[in-house]
């Protein structure tokens, strides 16, 4: 592999997670992002109370993302072989934390819209 292309990354992720799980994750992320943008456009502002509660969910999202990846890929923490593995695991945790915060904020805003 001489070049790293977008198509190569898609193929690698499909191989790691399986085609159905990977595209399911993409669909969930796209729907959550669209709903988050809808909530921000509808409310015209950020609710800092909801934002704080969303931040509290971040450690759970990070742990959940790491657990999910280890479970789906049939890997274990003892399989980590070096610094690159730690960096990838931290990246997965960061994406899970951010995803959880966006999801919690969006769900709070959809369930309890602001009163004007």
Confidence at residue 83, expressed as pLDDT on a 0 to 100 scale? 86
**Residue 10 within any structural domain of the chain:** yes
- Residue-range definition of the domain harbouring residue 24: 6-111
- In the chain, how many domains are there? 1
**Residue 58 within any structural domain of the chain:** yes
**Residue 28 within any structural domain of the chain:** yes
Confidence at residue 1, expressed as pLDDT on a 0 to 100 scale? 59
Which position has the token pair 């085609």? 19
pLDDT tens per residue across span 49-102 = 889 999 999 999 999 999 998 888 878 888 788 888 889 899 999 999 999 999
DSSP character for 79? G
**Residue 116 within any structural domain of the chain:** no
**Whole-model pTM?**
0.81
Flag whether pLDDT at 2 surpasses 80: no
Q: Is the distance from CB of 64 to CB of 100 less than 8 angstroms?
A: yes
Which position has the token pair 């959550």? 32
**Residue 82 within any structural domain of the chain:** yes
pLDDT tens per residue across span 25-53 = 899 999 999 999 999 889 888 888 889 99
**Residue 15 within any structural domain of the chain:** yes
**Residue 29 within any structural domain of the chain:** yes
- Virtual CA dihedral for 81, 82, 86, 87, nearest 10 degrees? -130
**Residue 1 within any structural domain of the chain:** no
Structure tokens that stand for 66 in this block = 């790491």
């Amino acid at each position: 592999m001489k070049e790293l292309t977008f198509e190569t990354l898609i193929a690698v992720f499909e191989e790691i997670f399986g085609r159905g799980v990977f595209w399911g994750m993409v669909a969930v992320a796209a729907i959550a992002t669209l709903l988050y943008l809808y909530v921000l456009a509808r409310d015209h502002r950020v609710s800092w109370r909801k934002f704080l509660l969303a931040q509290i969910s971040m450690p759970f999202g990070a742990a959940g993302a790491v657990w999910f990846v280890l479970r789906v890929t049939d890997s274990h923490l003892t399989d980590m072989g070096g610094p690159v593995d730690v960096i990838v695991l931290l990246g997965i945790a960061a994406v899970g934390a951010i995803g959880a915060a966006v999801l919690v904020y969006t769900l709070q805003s959809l369930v309890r819209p602001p009163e004007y």
